[in-house]
Amino acid sequence: MAWPFSREGGSKTASGDWSGFLDKTVRFEGTLEFSGTLRIEAQVKGNILSDQTLVLGEGAKVEGQIEGNHVMVSGRFDGVIFAKGRVEILPGGVVTGEIHTPCLVIEPGGIFDGRCHMAVSAKVAQPVAIPFRAVSQG
């Protein structure tokens, strides 16, 4: 099911259906674990664990650690992000802290203040064999 409250007009994300939504009236502290795609507009303090997509909307204020595949930030995040796929800081998004990811995208209007560790993804780390042929000298 497509989530009806997405700013993208209810469309699915690249990783599939929406799992849920935390509205701006929600305040959560602890560990949040989910599969699929979750959009957060709430205030969250703690750990967020995902195997797919996390969207921090414009109203999100998140402090803690995120472990996921694809993380999109339009709100505010303070802490450490570990992403297997990519991290996107969208216009209006502010990330303070550390990012560990093989792919970081900061769109115009996005702000990142911290350290970035560009881990090599498993796909990119494959060794490449280059055949050599002998050149005769003569």
Q: How far apart are CA 74 and CA 92, in angstroms?
A: 6
Q: Is the pLDDT of residue 18 over 90?
A: no
* Paired tokens of 28: 């959560």
Query: What does the pLDDT read at residue 123?
Result: 59
Strand locations in 9-134, DSSP E?
18-22, 27-34, 37-40, 43-50, 53-56, 61-73, 76-89, 94-100, 104-106, 111-117
Residue 8: count of CB within 10 angstroms of its CB: 11
Does the pTM exceed 0.85? no
Query: Which residues fall within 8 angstroms of residue 55, CB to CB, at 6 or more apart?
Result: 6, 13, 37, 38, 39, 40, 72, 74
List, for residues 40-85, the tens digit of each pLDDT value: 999 999 999 998 999 999 999 999 999 999 999 999 999 999 999 9
